[in-house]
Amino acid sequence: MGSGISKASYNITVKTGDQKGSGTDVNVYIILHGKGVQTNECKLDNFFKNDFERGEIDKFSIDSEINISEVQRVELRRDNYGLYSNWYLDWIEVTNKKNSITFIFPAMKWIKANGRYFFNHHTCLPQDDLFLETRKLELKAIQAEYQLQVHIPEMAGLPAQLMSSFFLEETVKTLPEDEKFSFHYEANFALEGMKLKGESFKLTMMKNKEWQDFEDVNTVYTKAFGVPEVNTFSANRY
C-alpha cells in the first residue's frame, strides 16, 4: 500500500484517560506520517464543544492534500493553553475515508506541553526505534521519577519501596500518576466491594438456620459466590 498526492480526508478518534486530572483545555495538533510523506499539522478541534474531557472519546475530521493509504505513524503535540493543561492520552484511531482502513495507535501516557510525541502503528525492538533520542530522554525522565529506596535500612532483607522525585523527604514518597488506579477502576472496585459485603451479610444472617438435610447446604450459595461445580458429584457415575 502506498501514499500519493491527492486530496484526502481522515477521521481521527481520540480517547482521553479517566485518571484524575487527565482532561484538558489545551490545543492539540496532529501530523499523519506515511511512507516518505506526511500531512501538514492540523489542529484537533470541534466547534462549540469541550474536547478532551476526562474519560471521553472525541471524533474529529481533517482534510489534507496528501492521501496516505497506510498511516504508519502519528505525531502529536499540545500547547499549555488554559487553566487545566494536564492531559492523559489512552489511544488514537485514524481512518482514511477513501479506503476505510483504520489504524490504531496506543499511547497510555501523559502528554506534556510543547513536546513532540510519535506513536507507531507497528511495534519494534528498542534498539530499532526510529526516534531513539526521544526514547532516551523519556527513559531518563522515568529513571528520575521512579526510584527505589529501603526506608528501614537497619532491618536487613526488607524489600525496597517506590519513591518519587516529586518529594525529597526520607519518608514514603507520592506514587507517580501513571501508577495510580484510574477513576473508572476505583469506582468498579468500590461497587464490587459493596456487593460482596451485601452477600456476606446475607450469609451471616443465615448462619443460625439449621439444615434439615444435605441439600440445604445449597442455601449458603449466592449469585455472587456461585455454586461449586462439584455440587453435582452425587449424580456422577464412575
Of 189 and 40, the structure prediction assigns the larger pLDDT to 40
Instruction: Give mean pLDDT, residues 195-217.
Output: 68
Q: Give the residue with greater pLDDT, 15 vs 214.
A: 15
Tell whether the model's pLDDT for residue 25 goes beyond 90. Answer: no
Decide which of 30 and 207 is more confident.
Answer: 30
Which of 112-126, 165-179, 206-220 bottoms out in mean pLDDT, i.e. has the lowest? 165-179
CA distance 158 to 151: 9
Q: How far apart are CA 139 and CA 12, in angstroms?
A: 28
pLDDT tier for residue 139 given thresholds of 50, 70 and 90: confident
How is the chain classified by DSSP, letter by letter?
Answer: --EEEEEEEEEEEEEE--STT----S-EEEEEE-SS-BPPPEEE--TTS--S-TT-EEEEEEEEEEEESS--EEEEEE---SS----EEEEEEEEETTTTEEEEEEEEEE--TT--EEEESS---GGG-TTHHHHHHHHHHHHHHEEEE-S-TTSTTPPPEEEETT--SSSPPPPPGGGSPPHHHHHHHHHHHHHHHHHHHHHHHHTTPPPSSGGGGGGG--TTT---GGGGGGG---
Q: Are 64 and 41 in contact (CB under 8 A)?
A: no
Per-residue pLDDT at 228: 66
pLDDT at 90 over 90: yes
| Lowest model confidence (mean pLDDT) among 2-11, 86-95, 187-196, 216-225 | 216-225
Q: Please write the tens of the pLDDT for every residue from 183-193.
A: 667 777 788 87
Kindly report each contact of residues 209-218 with a partner whose C-beta sits within 8 Å and lies 24 or more positions away, as own/partner.
Answer: none
